[in-house]
Amino acid sequence: MQAQLIALDWGTTSLRAYKLAAGGQVLELRSLSCGIMQLPKTPRVINGRECADGFELAFDQACGDWLDAQPDLPVIACGMVGSAQGWREAAYCDTPADVANLGNSLQTVRSLRGTLVHIVPGVIQRSALPNVMRGEETQVLGALQNLAVDVSNELLIGLPGSHSKWVEVAAGCITHFDTFMTGEVFAVLSEHSILGRTQQQGAQFDGPAFDRGVRVALSADGEIGVLSTLFSARTLGLTGALSPTAQADYLSGLLIGHELSALAAVQRRRRNSGRLPSVILIGNSQLCARYSRALDACGFTRVTLAEQATERGLWQLALAAGLLDSSSR
């Protein structure tokens, strides 16, 4: 099949390049450790010119040969490549945000080979405590692609990670989202606090220890808050109730449990209902498996996992921006 689009998911630590055919079908995928904070540094010749610019080097490494074969292929990119530290800043779009207004707000940068790279803006939610996302908006739009509009109104889309996002949608629009720094806090506590002193890496995931952490977060003991229950990751080890290899998964369950307990309370209050919404998870399969396990314990009983959300979202945005012929749908 003939390629019709190059789609880039360009984050802080990694770069994924997709060569897409009609309908967004993936012809080829490349994963590189060339995020915006880990750009190549060795100069090389690009389009007949010596180049030392990290963004140019990473771009050429990711898809230069694809463009050699098809120079007119349109290119679209999402993620931190559009941040203030990126290749070209793409200003945030305000909520509510959908495919149309994001697709009409792309910023461009022209590469050394003459290719225009179209960069997707992030989304900002303005309030007393503003919230932002870059890259996740594209994944959300990709997950919504094949859903009926009326179904999407009952959805909560979760993107677990260092900064987990929980996104509310209505009629195909991103209307509200919350961010939890659960993954980053777990890493900091495990690597730089006293809680990590007694942890040992286990050979495999310790489900019972993880579940115990979730239960503590949801229990009466958990009502005092995460800053208090965190100390149990140490004391349960000191008293022999948790082995060193179980402590990391216990801590993970404790933090995720507090995150989802707060999320459930907020969802019930916002919806003025005891009924929790269906959840679609997007992200790393192992991390999503942990979240699915904890979501069930928190009362979220309808949980599914989205696939190919990023490339589907980039394809839809390229269509909305007019980068593709309408017959390519």
Paired residues of 15 in beta bridges: 10, 32
272 Cβ contact partners less than 8 Å away, ≥ 6 residues apart:
none
Fold of 181-298: Nucleotidyltransferase; domain 5 (3.30.420)
Which has the closest alpha carbon to 130: 165, 197, 85, 179?
179
DSSP 232-296: HHHHHHHTTSS-TTTHHHHHHHHHHHHHHHHHHHHHHHHHTSSPPPEEEE-S-HHHHHHHHHHHH
Instruction: Answer whether 170's CB lies under 8 Å from 149's CB.
Output: no
DSSP per-residue string spanning 195-226: GGTT----SS--HHHHHHHHHHHHSTGGGG-H
CB distance 166 to 139 below 8 Å: no
Cα(296)–Cα(291) distance, integer angstroms: 9
Measured distance CA(209)–CA(191) in Å, rounded: 19
H/E segment holding residue 157: strand 155-159
CATH 3.30.420.310 occupies which residues in the chain? Answer: 181-298
User: What residues of the chain score a pLDDT lower than 50?
Assistant: none
* β-bridge partners, 123: 93, 133
pTM listed for this prediction: 0.93
Three-class SS state of 18: strand
Predicted pLDDT of residue 89 = 97
- Work out the number of other CB atoms within 10 angstroms of the CB of residue 176: 17
Residue 164, pLDDT score: 98
pLDDT at 288 (0 to 100): 97
Which CATH code fits 5-146+309-328? 3.30.420.300
- Give CA separation, 4 vs 15, 37, 74, 141, 309, in Å: 20, 29, 7, 20, 18
Q: What is the pLDDT of residue 271?
A: 85
d(CA 290, CA 270): 25
User: How far, in Å, CA of 160 to CA of 290, rounded?
Assistant: 10
